[in-house]
């Protein structure tokens, strides 16, 4: 029995602007999974800043994402993670064999008020809880 811990699963959330859905998903995963899962987010065409309605909606849930900034999606970021979750970016995300890809069909909060963003935030939380369950239930292959 080795003392080295099993490698942590890593998840990359990707949407077009990395300003709403992917930021909320990354924040939920970090909040709910703690340090059990590595979390990243990126956009195929990053916005100048995070959607203020997404910041406000997450603040209502007790999670501060006001210091986050949209990041550009890179091939290296996709290559380095185990699971890529896309949210409306279609074919702009690079695909690598052996990665697990999920596409979450979520409304785009861009230009929406907080009333429209709250249900998206809550739907993302449910999806993230299911993701945590699936990632932490999987046993790593022998030899890893």
Positions annotated as catalytic residues are: 15, 89, 93
- Determine the 3-state secondary structure of 38 from DSSP: strand
Q: What is the DSSP string of 62-100?
A: T---TT----B--HHHHHH-SEEEESS-GGGS---TT-E
What is d(CA 69, CA 1) in angstroms, rounded to the nearest whole number? 41
What is d(CA 144, CA 126) in angstroms, rounded to the nearest whole number? 30
From edge to edge, which strands make up the β-sheet containing 10-15?
A: 38-43, 10-15, 83-86, 100-103
Nearest to 83 by CA among 57, 103, 60: 103
């Amino acid at each position: 029995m080795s003392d080295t811990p099993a490698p942590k699963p890593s998840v990359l959330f990707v949407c077009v602007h990395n300003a709403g859905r992917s930021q909320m998903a990354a924040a939920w995963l970090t909040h709910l999974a703690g340090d059990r899962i590595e979390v990243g987010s990126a956009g195929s065409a990053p916005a100048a800043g995070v959607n203020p309605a997404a910041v406000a909606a997450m603040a209502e849930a007790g999670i501060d994402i006001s210091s986050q900034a949209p990041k550009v999606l890179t091939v290296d970021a996709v290559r380095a993670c185990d699971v890529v979750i896309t949210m409306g970016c279609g074919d702009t995300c690079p695909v690598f064999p052996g990665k697990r890809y999920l596409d979450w069909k979520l409304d785009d909060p861009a230009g929406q008020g907080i009333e429209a963003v709250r249900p998206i935030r809550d739907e993302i939380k449910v999806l993230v809880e299911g993701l945590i369950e699936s990632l932490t239930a999987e046993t790593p292959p022998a030899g890893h």
